[in-house]
Amino acid sequence: MTTNQISATLDQTNRDAVMAAVATIKEKLPFLIDLTAEQRKSLPKMGDKSRAFVSKALEVATQNPDFLPRSFDLEEMRQDVELFESLYPILLSLTQLHELVDDTCIAVGSDAYAAALVVYNFAKASGKGAGLDAVADEMGRRFARKSRNLEAQGTTV
């Protein structure tokens, strides 16, 4: 038989509450942006080593603003550093939550799929004369393969 990795329910009230919490997070962070793949790729990234570098640069700039060009906005840099430092723990927390939700979805999806395979196999085996032939055939379409000639032509079966 199948191994059940998770046995839980999520009622509509709790689902709605979670969705409202996500909406509240988005509302509290109205400055969030959506970068394109190209933008993400082209931007320099700030990791742990870069955080120390940026912090040191802000300290140097604050203590020695005279060597910077007048067009350099020290307050904007300070604001960016502070926002990053405020967002970083949120990012870590949301990343952990995302991984937990993703892992749970994978596990419960696996449970459901494994159970569906058992149903399908029993329907195929005992469908003769039980009126399950049509249903088993319909379920079996999930496993149907396209012929290579039809795939090359872009035609579906």
Asked if residue 1 is part of any domain, the answer here is no
pLDDT of 98 higher than 50? yes
* Tens of pLDDT, residues 37-69: 999 999 999 988 899 999 999 999 999 999 999
Region at 154 (left for phi over 0; alpha for psi -120 to 50; beta for the rest): left
* Tens of pLDDT, residues 68-87: 999 999 999 999 999 999 99
Chain mean position to CA 3: 25
Asked if residue 4 is part of any domain, the answer here is no
pTM above 0.85, yes or no: no
Asked if residue 37 is part of any domain, the answer here is yes
- Between CA 120 and CA 123 the distance in angstroms is 5
Asked if residue 77 is part of any domain, the answer here is yes
Asked if residue 7 is part of any domain, the answer here is no
Are the C-beta atoms of residues 59 and 81 closer than 8 Å to each other?
A: no
Task: State which residues form the domain around 124.
Answer: 12-153
Asked if residue 60 is part of any domain, the answer here is yes
- Between CA 56 and CA 63 the distance in angstroms is 11
Q: How many domains does one find in the chain?
A: 1
Asked if residue 89 is part of any domain, the answer here is yes
Q: Any idea what DSSP says for residue 45?
A: P
Asked if residue 123 is part of any domain, the answer here is yes
